[in-house]
């Protein structure tokens, strides 16, 4: 799962042809707009508390957290599919187009290791949720390079009420 923070009017690109836009954030509710190919079913969850959208059979988008005017969205896609913030997607397209015309052009957006990105998201979330108490746990999380383990920790953060709840995830 990839977590992306967005505000009203901002878009997430899934692959090259699916756009998920944050239409409205009102209290604990988020309204999405989805633009997908006509042959791809878009289904919303029956439980409004989960705020889940399925696109096709293997793409899901759901609300992780709402903080004021920002929503943290979890996106699950097949491993061969890309997920980007719209502004990053557009920059990549521009650079790819420029590279076709100038093969010596260097990309300005470096590759980011998914494990490092997820570590940063986890550490940021721990500090927000548990303040300075989280420092020893953050130091341990920075040593974890297993992406699947980091994903499990990230998911556990949503329901954890203590730091011990999170630590149990990788001590199992």
Same domain, 132 and 154: yes
Tell me how far apart the alpha carbons of residues 98 and 150 are, in angstroms, rounded to a whole number: 35
Give the domain range for residue 45: 2-100
**Using one digit for the tens of pLDDT, what is the confidence trace for 111-144?**
667 777 777 878 878 877 777 788 888 888 888 8
Same domain, 82 and 151: no
**Using one digit for the tens of pLDDT, what is the confidence trace for 28-55?**
889 999 999 999 898 887 665 668 889 9
Same domain, 73 and 152: no
Same domain, 80 and 26: yes
Chain centroid offset of residue 172 CA:
25
**Using one digit for the tens of pLDDT, what is the confidence trace for 53-104?**
899 889 999 999 898 899 999 999 998 889 999 998 888 888 877 777 766 6
pTM for the structure as a whole: 0.58
For the chain, what is the domain count?
Answer: 2
pLDDT at 21: 95
Same domain, 134 and 79: no
157 Cβ contact list (under 8 Å, min separation 6)? 122, 125, 126, 129, 166
């Amino acid at each position: 799962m990839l977590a992306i923070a967005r505000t009203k009017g901002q878009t997430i690109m899934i692959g090259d042809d699916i756009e998920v836009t944050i239409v409205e954030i009102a209290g604990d509710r988020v309204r999405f707009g989805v633009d997908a190919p006509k042959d791809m079913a878009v289904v919303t969850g029956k439980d409004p508390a989960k705020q889940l959208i399925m696109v096709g059979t293997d793409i899901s988008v759901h609300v992780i957290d709402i903080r004021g005017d920002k929503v943290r969205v979890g996106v699950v896609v097949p491993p061969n599919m890309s997920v980007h913030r719209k502004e990053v997607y557009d920059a990549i397209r521009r650079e790819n187009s420029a590279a076709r015309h100038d093969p010596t052009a260097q990309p300005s957006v470096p590759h980011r290791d998914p494990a490092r990105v997820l570590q940063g998201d986890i550490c940021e979330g721990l500090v927000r949720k548990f303040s300075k108490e989280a420092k020893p746990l953050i130091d341990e999380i920075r040593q974890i390079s297993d992406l699947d383990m980091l994903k499990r920790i990230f998911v556990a953060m949503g329901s954890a009420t203590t730091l011990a709840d999170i630590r149990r995830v990788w001590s199992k």
